[in-house]
Amino acid sequence: MHSHLNDMANHKSALKRIRQNEVRKVRNRYYHKTARTAIKVLRNEEDKASATEQLPKVIALLDRLAKKNIIHKNKAANLKSKLTKHVNKLA
């Protein structure tokens, strides 16, 4: 994992920046993947009560990702809109 430190910058600050970027990349990827899974689960949900319960949690998750710039705020808005429509359509 640390092999890329040797062939790049030699400044202490730059090396720290590389380490931080690596950690953040992994963390952001985890958040993004978790959100996608949550969205998929909600989309496949047939039960109105269960979907209604899940929706606010998924919306909160999307808002957090948008706030941290992991996904674009318009993308978050589009997803929230579509998911809300989906939940409302369930009988």
Tell me the per-residue pLDDT of 51-87, one tens digit each, with 9 for 90 and over. 999 999 999 999 999 999 999 999 999 999 999 999 9
Q: Report the domain count for the chain.
A: 1
> Does 66 map to a domain?
yes
The rounded distance, in Å, linking the Cα atoms of 48 and 89 is 9
> Does 1 map to a domain?
no
Residue 4: predicted pLDDT: 60
**Contact (CB, 8 A) for 83 and 39:** yes
Write down the number of H helices and E strands in the chain: 3, 0
> Does 78 map to a domain?
yes
C-alpha closest to that of 4 among 17, 14, 18, 16: 18
State pLDDT tens for residues 13-36.
Answer: 989 999 999 999 999 999 999 999
Residue 9 confidence class, pLDDT cut points 50, 70, 90: confident
Buried b (16+ CB within 10 A) or exposed e, 45-59: beeeeebeebbeebb
Q: What is the CATH number of the domain that holds 41?
A: 1.20.58.110
